[in-house]
């Protein structure tokens, strides 16, 4: 998880288009006077304090992913904390400003709304007075590469040091192909002045396989990275092999229980015991097998004792042999 900060812009007048977009998210049609709207910069393509930056296409994609997402006061996603919803996103270019990576500065600006009601009064006041100035966003990206050599940063070090310049090019990590946008929220106390942005990522390779397995039973679309998919396929193959071994063991156990039952309780029909064994849980099967075996051994020794006894005798008497 990592974070990046953003700045709140002044609120603006509503257009008919704004209203139309907002009313896509509301249960009934809202009028302009019932709504409070404002703009936030969610993120940009500047190199941040962690020496990471988004590509411009990544900003575009994040704009799609953040549509309809609800912003909260802090990082606690309870309903009572939900404050505003994003209804429009666009990537703005400020050509006069150049990033540390030498690109024209681009930023993702979102428009958000909240209903004007007593509950929101204080929040609106805080927005207008500039108290709620910082915004943090949480998202995941599929790609994090070295800006110098293009190596996958999550597969280990490529030797290039972040923050250092190589032939005039700043080494940083390029974040691309966002896969999900989780949240955006207002931070009461800015984590950092200026840079402000607070990012929150689950990068490729950061997930443990345990988490990948868990996500299989979750809701919605599942995005698996190539490595995760390969690892998952490998684990499934191992599990299948183990399952086959388990089945073989169970079948042998069932057969043994049926056979022993035939010895200790011949009045029980073979088919009946067979059906019962098939329906038993493994630990029950083991218990029956043990009990039947014990009784069967008493009734008639199953392990031939004659041969070993003879052998034993011959070994014991070896010293007396000539």
Which residue of the chain is nearest Zn ion when measured via CB? 146
Q: Which is nearer to Zn ion, 146 or 273 (CB)?
A: 146
Closest approach of Zn ion to the CB of residue 57, in Å: 21
Q: Which is nearer to Zn ion, 21 or 162 (CB)?
A: 162
Contact at 8 Å (CB) between 135 and 185?
Answer: yes
Contact at 8 Å (CB) between 158 and 166?
Answer: no
Residues forming the site for Zn ion (CB under 5 A): 146, 148-149, 151, 158, 160
Q: Which is nearer to Zn ion, 141 or 146 (CB)?
A: 146
Q: How do strand 52-54 and strand 169-170 relate by DSSP bridges?
A: unpaired
Dig out the tokens for 108 from the structure: 């993702």
Contact at 8 Å (CB) between 67 and 86?
Answer: yes
Closest approach of Zn ion to the CB of residue 153, in Å: 8
Strand partners, 146: 173
Q: Which is nearer to Zn ion, 151 or 191 (CB)?
A: 151
Closest approach of Zn ion to the CB of residue 52, in Å: 14
Name the nearest CA neighbour of 70 among 56, 80, 59, 58: 80
Tell me how crowded residue 315 is: count the other CB atoms within 10 A of its CB: 9
Q: Which is nearer to Zn ion, 160 or 295 (CB)?
A: 160
Tell me if residue 140 falls in helix, strand or coil: strand
Closest approach of Zn ion to the CB of residue 58, in Å: 19
By CB atoms closer than 10 A (0-12, 13-18, 19+), residue 83 is: buried
Closest approach of Zn ion to the CB of residue 227, in Å: 19
Closest approach of Zn ion to the CB of residue 152, in Å: 10
Helix%, strand%, coil% for the chain, nearest 5? 40, 25, 35
**Cβ-based neighbours of 197, under 8 Å, separated by 6 or more:** 3, 4, 5, 6, 43, 44, 48, 135, 136, 137
Closest approach of Zn ion to the CB of residue 169, in Å: 10
Strand partners, 195: none
Total residue length of the chain: 322
Closest approach of Zn ion to the CB of residue 100, in Å: 17
Q: Which is nearer to Zn ion, 68 or 159 (CB)?
A: 159
By CB atoms closer than 10 A (0-12, 13-18, 19+), residue 24 is: exposed
Q: Which is nearer to Zn ion, 158 or 276 (CB)?
A: 158
Closest approach of Zn ion to the CB of residue 168, in Å: 15
Tell me if residue 164 falls in helix, strand or coil: coil
Q: How do strand 52-54 and strand 70-72 relate by DSSP bridges?
A: unpaired
Q: Which is nearer to Zn ion, 149 or 223 (CB)?
A: 149
Q: Which is nearer to Zn ion, 160 or 259 (CB)?
A: 160
Strand partners, 5: 136, 197
């Amino acid at each position: 998880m990592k974070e990046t900060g953003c700045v709140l812009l002044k609120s603006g007048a509503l257009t008919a288009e704004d209203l139309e977009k907002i009313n896509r998210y509301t249960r009934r049609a809202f009028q302009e006077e019932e709504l409070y709207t404002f703009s936030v910069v969610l993120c940009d393509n500047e190199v941040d304090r962690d020496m990471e930056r988004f590509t411009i296409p990544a900003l575009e994609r994040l704009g799609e992913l953040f549509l309809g997402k609800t912003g909260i006061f802090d990082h606690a996603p309870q309903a009572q904390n939900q404050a505003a919803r994003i209804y429009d996103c666009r990537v703005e270019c400020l050509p006069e400003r150049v990033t540390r990576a030498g690109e024209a500065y681009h930023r993702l600006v979102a428009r958000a709304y909240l209903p004007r009601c007593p509950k929101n009064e204080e929040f609106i006041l805080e927005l207008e007075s500039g108290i709620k100035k910082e915004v943090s966003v949480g998202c995941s990206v599929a790609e994090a590469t070295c800006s110098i050599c293009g190596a996958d940063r999550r597969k280990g070090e490529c030797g290039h040091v972040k923050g250092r310049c190589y032939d005039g090019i700043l080494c940083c990590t390029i974040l691309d192909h966002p896969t999900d946008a989780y949240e955006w929220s207002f931070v009461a106390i800015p984590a950092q002045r200026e840079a402000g942005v607070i990012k929150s990522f689950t990068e490729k390779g950061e997930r443990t396989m345990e988490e990948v397995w868990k996500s299989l039973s979750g809701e919605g679309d599942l995005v698996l990275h190539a490595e995760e998919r390969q690892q998952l396929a490998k684990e499934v193959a191992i599990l299948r092999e183990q399952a086959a071994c388990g089945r073989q063991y169970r079948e042998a156990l069932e057969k043994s229980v049926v056979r022993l039952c035939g010895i200790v309780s011949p009045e029980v029909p073979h088919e009946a015991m067979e059906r019962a064994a098939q329906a038993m849980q493994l630990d029950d099967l083991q218990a029956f097998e043990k009990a039947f075996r014990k009784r069967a051994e008493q009734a008639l020794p199953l392990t031939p004792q004659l041969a070993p006894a003879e052998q034993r005798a011959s070994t014991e008497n070896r010293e007396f042999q000539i």
